Amino acid sequence: MCDRFGEHAGSERGDLTGPNPVDRGKKGSKIHLITERTGLPLSIGISAGDTHDSQGLEALVRSVPPIRSRHGARRRRPAKLHRDKGYDYGHLRRWLRSCTITPRIARKGIESSQRLGRHRWTVERTVVWLAGCRRLRRRYERKAEHFLALASLAATLICYRRFSR
């Protein structure tokens, strides 16, 4: 049994061998999505696995379709946007306010991310629904357009199943 952190059984020097397990230059894709309050996907996008999450936020918000309302004109964008600490940048907050969207983003080093769990679980549930499609768990397609088409089709199926009840 090892008595020090990072030491393997049978290792004399105690150093780890092999590549760093938290290396940022990973291959793969990330699926980004914006959902409404109950978890229905409004907008979906993909990016490379090594890009930061905040870089695709503007494109996702711009691609949200008009929201129908019973009274008055249609809203083009949602009223509030809940995000985690990875989106805590001043330029993103200013851009969201200029689009008349109230940013609800936890501040790094100031706020706890535990309060975000009240709103974030719906997004996590939608990600699990998307993971139910086997072709989205592991990317087999070479072209990003094909992978995005499959992700969009999965989001459409989620909406169809929800409304066909």
What Cα–Cα distance (Å) separates residue 147 from each residue in 7, 26, 32, 135, 159? Answer: 41, 18, 13, 9, 19
Q: Is residue 73 within 8 Å of residue 160, measured between CB atoms?
A: no
Question: Residues with Cβ < 8 Å from 56, sequence gap 6 or more?
Answer: 32, 45, 47
Phi, psi dihedrals of residue 10, rounded to the nearest 5°: 90, -5
pLDDT tens digit sequence for 124-140: 888 888 888 877 777 77
- 12-16, 34-38, 90-94, 153-157: range with lowest mean pLDDT: 12-16
pLDDT tens profile 41-94: 888 888 888 788 788 888 888 888 776 667 777 666 778 888 877 778 889 889
Cα(106)–Cα(86) distance, rounded to whole angstroms? 9
The overall pTM is greater than 0.85: no
Q: How many helices (H) and strands (E) does the chain have?
A: 5, 4
Domain boundaries, the chain: 30-133
Calculate mean pLDDT across residues 25-41.
Answer: 81
Q: Are 2 and 8 contacting, i.e. CB atoms less than 8 angstroms apart?
A: yes
* Burial of 157 from C-beta contacts in 10 A (0-12 / 13-18 / 19+): middle
